[in-house]
C-alpha cells in the first residue's frame, strides 16, 4: 500500500538543465524553463484562472449587494457566441481550434526540450483498450462525486447555478458539444498535467508540490463556477496528476475528462427542466 501511493518522478527524465551552451548551441536553463512556464500559462489557462478569479469576486460583490447567495446567479460552460446561427457555429469551431492549438503548443515545447510523446507522456496507441477502460473508471470516480459536490455546494450557496450548456437547439449542438469536450480533455490534460509536471520535474520540485501546483491551477480557471467548482476541480487535479505519475500515460486522463464533459454537455439540455434535483 505504501508503495502504491509513493510519489516519485519517472527515472527517465528530460535533459538536465544547466547554463551551458557548447557546440550544439544554447541549452535550457532553470531560468529559461521558468520563463517559458510563465509565458505559456499567461496566454493560456493561467490567464483563464485570473479571469475566473475576477469573475467570482465580481459575483460575490453582486451577491452581497443584493443580499442573495451565489446560487442565484447562473453561469454557462458552453454558451452561444452569436445570434446568427452560422456565425455561432464558426466561432464555436474557432474556440475549439484555439484550445487544440494551446495543447499542441505544450506538446511542441516538450518535443523541443527532448521529450518523447510515447516515453514521457504515453501518447501512443499500444494500450488503446486498457487506456479506454481506465478512462471509463476514472470518469466514474471523478464524475459522480463531482456532481454530488456541486449539488451540495449549490445548496449551501457556495456555487453558482451552472447551466452547463445553453447553446441554441440546432442540428450541430450535439456534435459541437462532443468536440468541445474532446478539446477540453486534450487541452487541460496536456498542459496542466503532461506539460506542467514534466517541466516542474526539470526544476527539481518535489512531486507532491508539483501535484499541488497542477491541481490549484486546474481549480483556478473553474472559480467562475463558484467555490464548489474550485474545490471539486482541485480534487480532480490531485487524482489525475497522481495517476499520471503512477501510470505515465496521458490518454486515460484525456479520455476520462472528455467523457465527463460529454455527459455534462450533452446530458444537461436533455435533463434540465425534467428532473427536480438539477438546479
Name the pLDDT band for 4 (thresholds 50, 70, 90): very low
Whether 34 shows a pLDDT value over 90: the answer reads yes
Q: What is the mean pLDDT of residues 28-53?
A: 96
- Mean pLDDT for 20-45 is 82
Q: What is the pLDDT of residue 23?
A: 46
DSSP state of 278: -
Instruction: Using pLDDT thresholds of 50, 70 and 90, give the confidence band for residue 171.
Output: very high
Bigger pLDDT: 279 vs 191: 191
If one compares 5 and 189, the residue with the highest pLDDT of the two is 189
Q: In which band, very low, low, confident or very high, does the pLDDT at 275 lie, cut at 50, 70 and 90?
A: confident
Q: Over 60: is that where the pLDDT of 175 sits? A: yes
Per-residue confidence (pLDDT) for residue 25, from 0 to 100: 47
Cell of 273: 427542466
Closest by Cα among 187, 182, 190, 180 to 122: 190
pLDDT tens-digit profile of 229-259?
A: 999 999 999 999 999 999 999 999 999 999 9
Mean per-residue pLDDT for 87-115?
96
Contact 55, 223 (CB under 8 A): yes
Distance CA 279, CA 276 (A): 8
Write down the H helix ranges in 67-206: 85-112, 128-155, 173-188, 196-202
Contacts of 130 (CB under 8 A, 6+ apart): none
Predicted confidence (pLDDT) at residue 5 exceeds the cutoff of 70: no
- By the 8 A CB rule, do 165 and 265 touch? yes
pLDDT digits (tens, 9 = 90+) for 185-231: 999 999 999 999 999 999 999 999 999 999 999 999 999 999 999 99
158 pLDDT above the threshold of 60: yes
Sort 175 into a burial class: Cβ within 10 Å, 0-12 / 13-18 / 19+: exposed
The tens digit of pLDDT for each residue in 12-30 reads 556 666 544 444 445 789 9
Q: Tell me what the pLDDT averaged over the chain comes to.
A: 91
User: What percent of the chain stands above pLDDT 70?
Assistant: 91
Over 70: is that where the pLDDT of 170 sits? Answer: yes
Q: Distances in Å between the alpha carbon of 271 and those of 162, 264, 267?
A: 13, 10, 6
Of the chain, the percentage scoring pLDDT greater than 90 comes to 84
Assign 274 a pLDDT band (cuts: 50, 70, 90).
confident
pLDDT higher at 2 or 136: 136
Can you give the pLDDT at residue 237? Answer: 97
Burial group, residue 74, by CB count within 10 angstroms (0-12, 13-18, 19+):
exposed
Contact 90, 96 (CB under 8 A): no
Q: DSSP assignment, residue 191?
A: I
What CA–CA distance (Å, rounded) separates 271 from 177?
15
Confidence band of 1 (pLDDT split at 50, 70, 90): very low
Which residues, at least 6 apart from 249, have a Cβ–Cβ distance to it below 8 Å? 121, 122, 127, 131, 134
Amino acid at each position: 500500500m505504501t508503495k502504491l501511493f509513493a510519489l516519485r518522478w519517472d527515472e527517465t527524465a528530460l535533459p538536465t538543465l544547466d547554463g551551458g551552451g557548447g557546440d550544439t548551441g544554447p541549452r535550457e536553463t532553470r531560468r529559461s524553463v521558468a520563463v517559458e512556464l510563465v509565458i505559456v500559462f499567461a496566454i493560456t489557462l493561467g490567464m483563464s484562472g485570473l479571469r475566473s478569479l475576477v469573475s467570482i469576486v465580481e459575483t460575490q460583490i453582486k451577491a452581497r449587494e443584493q443580499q442573495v447567495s451565489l446560487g442565484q446567479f447562473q453561469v454557462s460552460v458552453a454558451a452561444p457566441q452569436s445570434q446568427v446561427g452560422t456565425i455561432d457555429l464558426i466561432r464555436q469551431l474557432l474556440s475549439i481550434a484555439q484550445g487544440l492549438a494551446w495543447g499542441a503548443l505544450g506538446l511542441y515545447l516538450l518535443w523541443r526540450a527532448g521529450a518523447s510523446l510515447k516515453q514521457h507522456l504515453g501518447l501512443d496507441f499500444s494500450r488503446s483498450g486498457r487506456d479506454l477502460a481506465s478512462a471509463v473508471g476514472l470518469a466514474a470516480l471523478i464524475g459522480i462525486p463531482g456532481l454530488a459536490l456541486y449539488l451540495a455546494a449549490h445548496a449551501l450557496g457556495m456555487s453558482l447555478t451552472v447551466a452547463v450548456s445553453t447553446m441554441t437547439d440546432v442540428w450541430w449542438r450535439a456534435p459541437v458539444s462532443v468536440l468541445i469536450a474532446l478539446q477540453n480533455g486534450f487541452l487541460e490534460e496536456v498542459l496542466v498535467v503532461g506539460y506542467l509536471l514534466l517541466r516542474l520535474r526539470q526544476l527539481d520540485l518535489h512531486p507532491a508540490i508539483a501535484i499541488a501546483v497542477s491541481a490549484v491551477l486546474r481549480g483556478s480557471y473553474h472559480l467562475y463556477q463558484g467555490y464548489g467548482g474550485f474545490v471539486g476541480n482541485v480534487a480532480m487535479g490531485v487524482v489525475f496528476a497522481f495517476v499520471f505519475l503512477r501510470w505515465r500515460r496521458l490518454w486515460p486522463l484525456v479520455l476520462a475528462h472528455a467523457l465527463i464533459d460529454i455527459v455534462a454537455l450533452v446530458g444537461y439540455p436533455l435533463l434540465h427542466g425534467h428532473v427536480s434535483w438539477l438546479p
